[in-house]
Amino acid sequence: MDFNDDTHLDVCQNIEAGLKAEYESHPDLTDNLCIIGLENATIAIKQKFGYAKNERVSNHPLLGGIIEWCVTVGMTRIGAVNGLTLKEYVARIDKIKKSVILHSAYGARGYYDFIKNFL
């Protein structure tokens, strides 16, 4: 599955809108921190559904907004819009994380530089 045939592409766009806002609110937010935030968001959303209970979610001040945004989007969308499942939602977070990793090769905020003109 790529971005062109994703039936839940709008979910990716929702998550990315929140990431863009976080990058704009926090000039110190780097792609590496964003990756960690997305990994923690995966844990946090799983915990909302009763999974990953033994895993910890970071309380780093630059990650809180990413985690909170992803959980809010997940709680709004999972099971409510287009039959999105927790597994599918986590896969969307992972897809975005891979994009962040890819674009981080172009600088500490390469991902933000990539998405800022699209959202």
pTM > 0.85: yes or no: yes
**Cβ contact 66:22 at 8 Å:** yes
What's the rounded Cα separation, in Å, for the pair 86 and 98? 18
What's the rounded Cα separation, in Å, for the pair 77 and 7? 13
What is the residue extent of each domain of the chain? 9-115
What's the rounded Cα separation, in Å, for the pair 65 and 77? 18
What contacts 83, CB < 8 A, 6 or more positions away? none
> What is the arithmetic mean of pLDDT over 54-59?
96
Q: What is the pLDDT of residues 8-36, one digit of tens each?
A: 889 999 999 999 999 999 999 999 999 99
Confidence bin at 83 (pLDDT 50/70/90):
confident
